[in-house]
Amino acid sequence: MMKIQIAISRATIALVACSQLVTSQVAFADLQNSQTVTFDGRQTEFNLELRGKKEKTRYRTEYYEDTCYRDEAYTDYRNVCEDQYRTECTTNYREECHTEYDRECSTVPVCRDVNRPVCHTETTPVCRDVNRPVCHTENEQQCTTVPICRDVMRPICNSSGCHDVPTRECTNEERCRDIPRQVCENHSTRECTDESHQVCQDYVTRECTNETQCQDVPRQSCSTVPYDDCNQVYTGQECHDEAYTAHRDVPYSCTQSREVADGTDLVEDILVKIKVSFIGDFTAITGQDSFAISVANGVDLASGTPDLKLAMKNDAGTHFYQLKKIQESKRQVSATESEITAHYQLTVTPIESVIQSLSTKPEITTMKLTRGKLDLTLPSRTLHERSKVTLKLRKDKTIGGYETVFNREVALDKIDLREAAAAQTATIPFSKIGLGTLASRPHEATITLTGRPALPKLEGLQNPASTIDRVRERLGQGLGEVTKKIVVRL
């Protein structure tokens, strides 16, 4: 009984899972592979789900008899024409000047600041420690031994008896006396004296002397000299036959192979969840602009077609639409199923505001003339295929005034253009328009530029080429014109 219940439970679970899978596949299959979004200026965000299949075509090789061609070279002739010019020269006169220098000298006072010492005598006390003897008198007792003699009666006895006889007797006695003497001792004494010395200090003194100064003074020395004034004059064309190597196809029988479709294989089922949002200026939106969003549009998408594509379907011609992918990610669900999550944003700009933002006439920022070329600096996109450039070049003949040496339109392919983000530079090399190097004379160049700035580059623009052409045609109407002149002595 337990085994029967387990079997019933498993069958029930499988049945429920199978029913859910069928329901999911049916819902998945109901989705279309493309949808159209119409923008009316009120709803600015659309959330869509699409489903598409990527399929790959199988091919087999098939052989068939055909006519093939091989390349064969042969000599042919063509007529080649070259513009011919002749040099015409006339003798003109010009004033040539050069600078000469004359030596001029003059006596001028030259003053300098000189440091001179100023001295004076100063008396200052100078003190020194001096050893001086200090003396005093001391009594010193001096003793000497002196003989002291006295007359003494001494008895003298002889045979006749004794009688006193005076006798001189001397004895040594010590006698002392005080004798004064001077005792001196050295004592340190501070002694000061006034001493004189000179004190000197530098003072700035202005001293002037007369000096002779010479300088070279320039002066202009001019003279009229003849010169050959030559121009290239167009004389027509010279034509001749020129041999060249041509090629032709020679038929022959051959066997060819071709790949023939032999069915298709499913590569991938793709589910797309996409949000399309609009931002910008919606003024004067007509509600006639629409966009097709599609996924896996057909077979053999490996050729480079994207899985998800947004393209403009209908254009009212009133606004520019610029596409930006905010987010797009793809997740593999199974071996043959994938899911794409995306957010596309379209920036809306009225075409009229773009046209009005462009200047009604061109502008020449700077202009520089040298002997071999004319350089122009312009705002970006000023000069393009719809512009017209006319150059008028005149030179001063000294005698007879100005003479025109060039006055016609300059083709755009004769102008070297360099485009940068903020500016455009244009160079007209005179060698490209049939002019040689300009002579050393004053020249006057006048540039006339006709046109309007080109349409700026719009990233991600979805409008068709026909709309862009109509905008460019409007920009070409009512062309603006600017003229700039420069005079240079070469």
Q: What is the pLDDT of residue 300?
A: 60
Q: What is the pLDDT of residue 219?
A: 77
C-alpha angle 467-416-357 in degrees, rounded to nearest 5: 35
Which residue is listed with tokens 């049916």? 26
Which two tokens mark 224? 């009229």
Q: What is the pLDDT of residue 67?
A: 92
Kind and range of the H or E run holding 18: helix 2-30
Cα 394 to Cα 91, 105, 358, 463: the distances in Å are 17, 46, 33, 48
Instruction: Tell me if 274 sits within 8 A of 293, measured CB to CB.
Output: yes
Give the model confidence (pLDDT) of 270-292 as tens digits: 999 999 999 999 999 999 999 99
Return the CA Rg of the chain. 63
Q: What is the pLDDT of residue 339?
A: 95
Which residue is listed with tokens 């219940």? 5
On whether the 359-467+475-489 domain is CATH 2.60.40, my answer is yes
- Cα torsion through 420, 424, 427, 428, rounded to 10: 140
Q: What is the pLDDT of residue 297?
A: 65
Give the model confidence (pLDDT) of 20-54 as tens digits: 333 333 344 568 889 999 999 999 999 999 998 88
Kind and range of the H or E run holding 465: helix 465-475
Nearest of 373, 382, 391, 384 to residue 413 by alpha carbon: 384
- d(CA 284, CA 41) in angstroms, rounded, equals 9
- d(CA 301, CA 315) in angstroms, rounded, equals 27
6: left (phi over 0), alpha (psi -120 to 50) or beta: alpha
Helices (H), 208-315: none
Residue 203 forms beta bridges with which residues?
116
Q: What is the pTM of this model?
A: 0.48
Q: What is the pLDDT of residue 408?
A: 92
- d(CA 353, CA 227) in angstroms, rounded, equals 58
Kind and range of the H or E run holding 279: strand 161-280
- d(CA 131, CA 484) in angstroms, rounded, equals 104
**Sequence spans of domains, the chain:** 359-467+475-489
Which residues of the chain fall below pLDDT 50? 1-28
